[in-house]
A and B are shown apart, each in its own frame.
Chain A
Amino acid sequence: MKKTGCLILLLIAAALPASPKLFSPAYSNLGHPFMDVAVTPGAIVPLFADADLYTVGASAVVTGELKISSVPFLYTHGEIGYSLIPVRAESLLSVVPLGVGMDFKINVLPRLEAKAAVSGGYYFGALHSSPFLAEGEAIWDGNPYLSLRAGSSFYLMPTISLGLEASYANYFGLVHFLGVSLVGSYHIPIQGRAPVEIKSVEVDRLFPVLYQFYDREPPGRAVIANTGRFPVSGIQASFYLDPYMSRPTVWEIEEALAPGEEREIELQMLFNDRILAIVEEAKFSGELVLSCECFGQRHETRRILPVEIRDRNSLTWEDDRKAALFVSEKDPNVLALAGSTVATVKRSRLRPINPVFRMAAGLHSALSVYGMSYISDPNSPYTEVLKDGSSIDFLKFPRQTLSHRAGDCDDLTILFCALLESVNMETAFITVPGHIYAAVSLGITQEEAAKLFTSLEDLIFLEDKTWLPVEVTELDGGFLVAWQLGAREWREHRESGEAHLYPVHAAWELYPPVGLPAGGSGFDPPAPEEVLGLYNEELIAFVQQELEPKVEECQRRIAASGNHPKEINTLGVLYARYGLFEEAKDEFHRVLESSEYVPALVNLGNIYFLEEDYDSALLYFDRAHAVNPTSANVLLCLARTHYQLELYEKTREYYTRLKEVKPDLAGRFAYLVVRTKEEIRAQEFVSFGREVVWEEE
């Protein structure tokens, strides 16, 4: 029997480290210790031969238990007990054990705790109240003892539990018995200690410009642990950083936390735009509050955290798309400059390619006239910070760049993109090793581009879009030089895979733009006449560069065809595409002298349409429609012209017929018949950037 007891003990000792679940990392650090005091009164039944000596007795053990903080579920305890065992000689045996031991406790249900314990120590036994002894005489002796207990307790409240326990005890050399006991435990509460604790907190260095990004990507993490003995639920966390949050950010942690369990949570932070007022790096105090529910009561724990916030212009370049944060398209100064430039561009007689191309040229010219200049950031040049993605760069908001009239490559790129985006033109960042510059989507396909540009290698074709690269740091050499430089840099690094293009709209999905909260008034745009002059110079140079060889080729074909209307119309379209409307009109009229050639009628109408002479345009579209009533392009032109003339019945009539003839084309111009507020707003831009389809055979 004694050997069996030893074997049980050794098995328990061996089983403890063998359980991987017990010592999993999530349960490895349990924080503060628990302290319990338990009283176990009960009955004991001597076993085997001892039953011939003793009858059923009573016992009580007082146990003081201390949780071993570093080992889950394990307690150590000290105990003192008293057993009174009747001896079958009209006598009584008293035994007082004094020992230590270990308990293994686990909550099988939230309030139900199972327990196994092993104890050992030394006992003192005394035979007394015996007729075999003189009155008052007692015989005592002592020896080691071992006891094993198992049972369960139900928590009536967090501090009190009641349960039942079965036990085996061997008082070596005296008696061994089985016992059944009630267990009353008092679990000593530790004042001010919540069952859930914040084990560690880590808050990233915050960048004001990312404050909206943090809504989705929390910049901090905390490890929380249930250091209590019961599961906790309803866990709620809040974080507050005054004054950069309007109110504490509160969020729920859905899953309950088991005793001993640790969990990493993200620290959610909803900042307001006051954070953009920070112009110098500083440390602030934030407060993390964690609350949970346990036994119907809420508990709360708080932690004050130091939060380091960089100035509003700081950023790291782990992701080049972060530059999109600074592309504040709605900045008043940006809108002012862009609006001024739009007006200037519209005043120009030259209208080559398309509005995007012209706006890019116009804005580049405006920046040149404005006196913008490129200057490398002496503290954190883009070239250097790119080598280490975690290094902090200083980026300017467009307003700041306009105010300073200077910036490095990232500042000028951001400004240029913001200006273009403010007039709804899609832009992108191009990064090559050590450098960043801008690109703008021309809104045409590669096929269309082939008709407009002699050298397609100066453009970037990605995902059905045609991008015009602009080296915005090149402000002195003019738009065309900036374009050529941008195209060359792309070509040089494209093969090696070191050139990347990041559309700003896509970047905004991750990094929404941030605008400076106040200010922006008092901006003085550059003189329109100067801008217009520079702009025209650029376009004339471009037209001359692009148009002359093409005109020569067309004239050769006209001569070769014997003045065929098709070839003359092609020359007219060429002039029209480059904005030389008078030359184009001459060619189309030259065609119409001989016949009602529909493409020439349509193209002539297009020119008047673009010149906003809608009545004249309508005249030519009607003539074309008379010749070819089923032409989708003619139907579209009629609908659009009537729309401009605010003749909506006619617009609807022609649109309906267009829809029957060419539904996909009709779908692109649905605004003609559906006028929501958004579409009307879109129309305001379309009225500037409207396109026409030049008709050729």
Chain B
Amino acid sequence: MGRVFGFRRIGMPLALGLSVLAIIALLPILGLAGCDTALRDRIELYVNGCKQIQSDGVVYVDGINGTDSNPGTQELPKKTIQNAIDLADALMDLGEVRVAQGTYHLYKTLIVREGISLYGGFQASGWTRDIETYTTVLQGVSVDTVIKPEQGVTTATVIDGFTIEAVSVAEATCIWCKDSSPTIQRNTLDASQGSTDTIGIFNSSSSPVILANTINAGDGTAAAWGIANSGSPAKIWSNVIFGTGSNGKYRGILNSNSDAVIQNNTIRCGLHVDDVGIYNSDSNCIMENNILFSSASSCGIEEDGSAALPVKVNNNDFYGCSPYYEYDSGSCTTVTQMEDYLGLHSVEAASNRDDNPQFISGVDWHLGSGSPLRDAITDPPTGFYRDRDWLLRSDPWSMGAYEKD
């Protein structure tokens, strides 16, 4: 036997094989191979995180304390919102991304996925929500568009509770919906840092719900639009819309081939006579219960061509606008003129007024206690029931974005 097992007879392959196997056999005994690898630790972390996320339906983001290698749980939140959105999208059909307070610099446009709603305004520790106290700011950096929902997003996908700031680029858009129809609510959108085109929300071939947002259209030299709809029958409810430019390029809401529903919004019509509160082109909109005001004789509603005749123009307040309503061959500078004109064209137009809204102040457009627009709507619209402050409206409703002061 010794002869058979002599090293020379066995040869190097056998000796080498036995040696390696002996070493491997000893490793667990010595504990060297018995410990979990860092890879396994990470896998366990993710598997547990995955279970938690799928159970809660939520991925958490904390731009300060989180890291993107975290699983995205409350205890171990993600750092970046996009990473969290993609994770939630991979793990769930319907879920949320909750974003803690803080300013999030977005170097890429944030892509919102269908079914994954985005909520801001959370406390970093404890994850209680108060969007006023725990402000979540999404600030674009060198990007034209801060948020862009992916195509196919429906109103089940919500963007809620953020301050969305477009920064100093030529064409600055806070949210751009293209072939997507999210619900955009309770956000503060500020496109004022842009230069050429400054747009709060741009909808293209989309049907979003835009509810209770404050939109600063900025002062773009070519275009300063609060909400621009192109082929997009958006629902625009309880929003505060204004611009800061005085070069006549401002449009509070611009509809092009878009049969939008515009109800209970407070819209500053501009700071220049060429500015317009609601501009319609090839659009048959419903405009009700809105407050359209101006301190610079800007136009309330402009009808660009007969194809842009509205469907309804009811209960709107035109304060300081001049004209109230403008069309191709003329303009209406009184409520009566406007309703007569629209009536001639079979447009439902009634109960419009030009009362002073009696805002709380020049920068606070809540209705003062003596405002004639308070509780002025006895036949409230359907489809929404909250004002800009996310308060439930009570019947009778007040006109404009705010139910009360």
Contacts and interface: CB of A to CB of B under 8 A. Distances in A.
Interface string A338-367: 000000000000000000000000000000
Interface string B41-81: 01110110111000000000000000011011000000000
B47 A52 contact: yes
B11 A89 contact: no
Contacts of B392: none
B27 A172 contact: yes
A172 B39 CA distance: 11
A139 B39 contact: yes
Given A9-B25, A99-B20, A100-B20, A125 B37 contact: yes
A126 B86 CA distance: 21
B13 A66 contact: yes
Most chain A beta-carbon contacts within 10 A, residue among B40, B69, B89: B40
A135 to B, nearest CB: 8
B11 A70 contact: yes
Contacts of B46: 87, 89, 91, 127, 130, 132
A70 B3 CA distance: 10
B156 interface: no
B35 interface: yes
A127 B20 contact: no
Contact of A121 (B24, B71, B91): B24
Interface string B1-28: 1001100011101101110111111111
A356 to B, nearest CB: 63
A21 interface: no
Given A120-B20, A141-B38, A173-B35, A53 B43 contact: yes
Contacts of A100: 16-17, 20
Nearest to A77: B17
Contacts of A175: 40
A220 to B, nearest CB: 27
Contact of A28 (B4, B25, B38, B43): B4
A141 B39 contact: yes
Contact of B28 (A2, A17, A69, A121): A2
B358 interface: no
A270 interface: no
A400 interface: no
B81 to A, nearest CB: 13
A118 B91 contact: no
A5 interface: yes
A90 B90 contact: yes
Contacts of A139: 38-39, 42
A190 B108 CA distance: 62
Contacts of B16: 76, 100
Nearest to B8: A70
Contacts of A121: 20, 24
B135 to A, nearest CB: 27
B333 interface: no
B168 interface: no
A142 B38 CA distance: 9
A594 B77 CA distance: 158
A121 B10 CA distance: 21
Contacts of A145: 24
Contact of A131 (B35, B42, B47, B91): B91
A486 to B, nearest CB: 57
B5 to A, nearest CB: 6
A146 interface: yes
A130 B43 CA distance: 10
30 contacts: A2-B28, A2-B33, A2-B34, A13-B18, A13-B21, A17-B5, A53-B43, A68-B10, A70-B11, A89-B46, A89-B47, A90-B50, A99-B20, A102-B17, A120-B20, A120-B23, A121-B24, A127-B43, A131-B86, A131-B89, A132-B72, A134-B68, A134-B83, A139-B39, A142-B37, A144-B27, A146-B21, A146-B24, A172-B27, A174-B36
- Minimum-distance CB pairs A-B, first 9: A131-B90, A172-B33, A141-B39, A120-B24, A2-B28, A76-B13, A89-B50, A173-B37, A89-B46
